[in-house]
Amino acid sequence: MSQYIKPANDHSDGLAEGGTVRRITRWDEDVMHVVTRPVDQFDDDLRSLVRDMFATMDAANGVGLAAPQVGVDLALFVYECPDDDQVIHRGIVCNPEVELPKGRERVLDTTDEGCLSWPGAYQPLSRPDTAICRGLDINGEPIELRGTGYLARCFQHETDHLNGVVFGDRLSARARRLLDQQKESLAHFYPDDWPVTPKGRQDY
């Protein structure tokens, strides 16, 4: 992400460093298809999980990561993602709810979307180009975040994960088949414990 400036909106509470990389779960695992439990303990265990999530997201070159993607059924995600002005935002949201524009305010953006839990596969998906995400920070205090562009897409994508929804569920049957074919064709580059074991080399 070197084309972007340093995070100007950093709500990571100093937890974006020092974590341990964990294995990223895949869509065919049960934890990816259940509604997560609300976060109700804002303690050292939660902070340790968040550190590991940031480390895992960074190792996988992602812009967002939800707790189910490291096998934990908690309503929590981390993000480090650019907005429509290419400004990076970084932070943590517990128990998020996303508010999307309606009526004339609703503008759909159609662009390729991917997921670290179905690595290597992308398909176009239309989502509203702005979103408000409300939840709690790592200390249990209320927060409200406004996202545009890719950041708005990130808020929607990660909150979907916490409701047991993967973005492939939102695709047409044809697009989902193409997505699955892409994933299978590249599966040999992604070890089962990826990104603990890095992605294999792809020669062209």
Task: Please give the Cα distance from 108 to 178 (Å, whole number).
Answer: 22
80, 97, 141, 158: which one is catalytic? 158
Question: How many CB atoms are located within 10 Å of the residue 133 CB?
Answer: 24
- Residue 141 bears catalytic tag: no
Residues 93 and 143: beta-carbon distance below 8 Å: yes
Please report, for residues 27, 41, 125, 141, 195, the alpha-carbon distance to residue 118 in angstroms, rounded to integers and kept in the order given: 6, 30, 15, 32, 13
Cα-based torsion angle of the residue sequence 81, 175, 35, 27 in order, rounded to the nearest 10 degrees: -80
SS3 20: coil
Q: What amino acid positions are annotated as catalytic residues?
A: 158
